[in-house]
Amino acid sequence: MKLKLFFFLSLVFFIKTHAQSYIFGKITSENGTEMQDVNVINIRTDEMVLSNSDGHFMISGRAGDELRFIKAGYDRLSKKISQENIQSPLNVSLVRTTIEIPEVEVKQGLTGNLKIDSRSYNKPKKVEKLTKDIDRYIAQKSDPRVLAARPGEFVQPKGEGFSIGKVKDKWDDVDLINYIKASLGDDYFTHLKIEKPLIDHFISYVLAGGFERKKILKYGYCSDADLYRFQRFVLIRISSYRTPQIRK
């Protein structure tokens, strides 16, 4: 009897210890504004979620896990989860990244002393003469004989020119799909219940749903803002992707 009781208590303790728990919270800026589309990552599990329009988020985790909060334009923030964070909401505040302004050289102003001001603002006579000589040389017209073609040289005939056709984009959709997959990682899509062999197909499905990408393909550059925009578009398209298509 004692052995069965001991086994039962051990089983209860094991289940309680390894039970899946969730961490809830809210993300605001330093001035108290709710922040949407903040990446919340559990470093232990590699799970990633986005905060909603009210700044709220929910992610699985347990005490001792480290959560990382990332948003373009703001300093990254890491939080160590305690048992208290499991039982009550976790409030997080992100601080905007400080942009250093290049130092501007302030020139000396007029002092009122003619002797000092003349040395600061009047150029030396040699410099003035050299500047005038250069300007005079540039203004002179070249002798036509200097630019004339030599005997036997080919001369390009003058004309209205011609069009070389439309300039091609630096990227196509395949390049964009590869970039998105490499940037977000396979885990991002597997958390959405998208199997690895179907990741390319799913990204193509999202793009075909009206995702604006003309500038991305034209310049061959996808910014963090474009990635966040893609993630928001995923949330719109994923439900229809999972719905079985009715064949006509």
Residues, the chain = 248
Bridge partner residues of 26 (DSSP): 56, 91
If one compares 168 and 187, the residue with the highest pLDDT of the two is 187
As a whole number, the mean pLDDT across the chain is: 79
Packing angle of the helix pair 199-208, 173-184 (nearest 10 deg): 120
Q: Global pTM?
A: 0.38
Q: What's the order of all strands across the beta sheet hosting 48-50?
A: 48-50, 39-42, 66-70, 77-80
Alpha carbon distance 169, 190 (integer Å) = 31
According to the model, what pLDDT value does residue 102 have? Answer: 62
Q: What is the DSSP letter of 149?
A: P
pLDDT for position 122:
58
Per-residue pLDDT of 100-117, as tens digits, reads: 666 656 566 666 565 566
What structural domains and CATH numbers belong to the chain?
18-94 (2.60.40.10), 173-240 (no CATH)
Query: Which amino acid, residue 113?
Result: N
Residues 52, 35: Cα–Cα separation, whole Å: 8
- CA–CA distance, 95 with 137 (Å, rounded to integer): 57
3-state helix, strand, coil in the chain (%, to 5): 40, 15, 40
Distance in angstroms (rounded) separating the CA atoms of residues 35 and 56: 8
134-186: pLDDT as tens digits: 777 777 666 666 556 666 555 555 555 444 455 678 899 999 999 999 999 99
Looking at residue 109, its pLDDT comes to 60
